Amino acid sequence: MQLVRSLDTTNAVVARALETPWVYRVARAVMRFLLHLLFRLEISGAEHLNRPERPLMIIANHLHWLDPPIIFAILPFRATVFAAEKWAKRPVISDLFRLVGNAIFVRRGEVDRRALSKAMAVLKAGGVLGIAPEGTRSKTGALQRGRGGAAYLALRTGATILPIAVSGQEKAFRTLFRLRRPTIRITIGEPFRLSDAPTRAKGEQLDMYVDQIMLRLAELLPPEYRGVYADAFQ
């Protein structure tokens, strides 16, 4: 396990991104079984998971710690994900992130250029990157303003973007405690690219592409989950 922790270089992250080890397949099968046992998963748009063009960036809203396991369980391919740097220092958890999810650990609250460089390398190698474009878990129960990371990476790499919206997860355990099986809805949108876009954008131009990405995600969510983007659908 210590060896795994020591190999967190860009080359190691890219190599893991292009592999699908047996431990990943087993963990995904176990997670899928547990989620279907505990929750009623309603999945729409699953056809968009069939061989999307790569490099591929998966964007998703983030309300609850259940979000990563849910998306992990439904994906038919391995994705590299961002994880808070604090988890890199936790024994066992850090190893699980690297072995199963192939995590890029990122410093919160600042532009972590080392993490962005690793993410860009994964995409340029034809890998799959999962990212919450809000940058952190929403405390409001709805979408927050998107940050620039997802748009920056998509512009620099030309990656296809696959939006996945999850709703009902924040109420799931309250429903379970009432001895009822909760429903969690997963909506997978049509893959898209930032067409006619420059490879580099800053300021208001980058903000425009951030909004384009977030609106694609917002349209997949029920109105009460759209948050700061709700007015665009009035």
Q: Indicate which CATH number applies to the domain containing 53.
A: 3.40.1130.10
Kindly state whether residue 230 falls inside one of the protein's structural domains: no
Instruction: Look up residue 102 and give its two tokens.
Output: 């192939």
pLDDT score at 1? 39
Kindly state whether residue 229 falls inside one of the protein's structural domains: no
Kindly state whether residue 67 falls inside one of the protein's structural domains: yes
pLDDT score at 8? 65
Kindly state whether residue 33 falls inside one of the protein's structural domains: yes
pLDDT score at 223? 96
pLDDT score at 35? 95
* Closest listed residue to residue 125, CA positions, set 44, 11, 213, 7: 11
Residue identified by tokens 């650990």 is: 105
Kindly state whether residue 136 falls inside one of the protein's structural domains: yes
Spacing of C-alpha 198 from chain mean position: 24
CB 18 within 8 A of CB 125: yes
CB 199 within 8 A of CB 156: yes
Kindly state whether residue 233 falls inside one of the protein's structural domains: no
Residue identified by tokens 């349209």 is: 219
Q: How many domains does the chain have?
A: 1
Pairing of strands 56-60, 128-131: parallel
pLDDT score at 3? 36
**Nearest 5°: CA angle at 232, between 227 and 234?**
95
Kindly state whether residue 24 falls inside one of the protein's structural domains: yes
DSSP the chain: -HHHHHT-SHHHHHHHHT---HHHHHHHHHHHHHHHHHSEEEEE-GGGGSS--SSEEEEE---STTHHHHHHHH-SS--EEEEEGGGGGSTTHHHHIIIII-EEEE-TTS--HHHHHHHHHHHHTT-EEEE-TTSS--SSSSPPPP-SHHHHHHHHH--EEEEEEEESGGGHHHHHHTT---EEEEEE---B--TT--S---HHHHHHHHHHHHHHHHTTS-GGG-GGGGGGG-
CB 152 within 8 A of CB 206: yes
Domain interval for residue 102: 2-220
pLDDT block averages, 10 residues each, the chain of length 234: 51 79 87 95 96 93 92 91 77 68 76 87 94 91 94 93 97 93 97 82 86 96 96 91
Kindly state whether residue 30 falls inside one of the protein's structural domains: yes
pLDDT score at 198? 74
